[in-house]
Amino acid sequence: MGVQVIWQCGKLYYERYKIKQTKSIKIIPFITRMDYLYKAVDALISRSGALTISEICITCTPSILIPSANVAENHQYHNAMVLYNEKASEIIEEKYLDENFKTVLTNFWLNDSLRNEMKEKLQKRSKPNATDEIVRNIKKIIN
């Protein structure tokens, strides 16, 4: 079947990028059911906000993270580095995207053992019961 790409470009950019759609590249302005997407993909290239990091961990989805430098205190970079330092994700800083993307993507995509190792590391980091744990801790503090 070949590589199939789902590209969520954002509503603001859809008109600009929809012309790049092909048989193997589906361009979507916004994905409302990310849970379905995570079940459908083998890998993810994404920004690295806190919710995305949580979703990557809980779904054990291998990823290449491209943190936005235009966020408070560069927090997306720090989020991504947590997974990168644990060999649970790849990272490309936006300022190095042009020079590093092809090499990182090629290594990532052609290396099944790398992606399988990422899945194992992500599973160890996953916190499927985080909400219950937070509620228990709040109750302890209140009582």
Give the Cα separation of 45 and 90 in Å (integer).
Answer: 9
What percentage of the chain reaches a pLDDT higher than 90? 90
User: pLDDT per residue over 68-106, tens digit each?
Assistant: 999 999 999 999 999 999 999 999 999 999 999 999 999
Q: How would you list the strands of the sheet with 44-46, edge to edge?
A: 44-46, 63-65, 90-91
Give the mean pLDDT of 121-141: 94
What domains can you pick out in the chain, each with its CATH number?
A: 33-142 (3.40.50.2000)
Residue 59 has pLDDT above 90, yes or no: yes
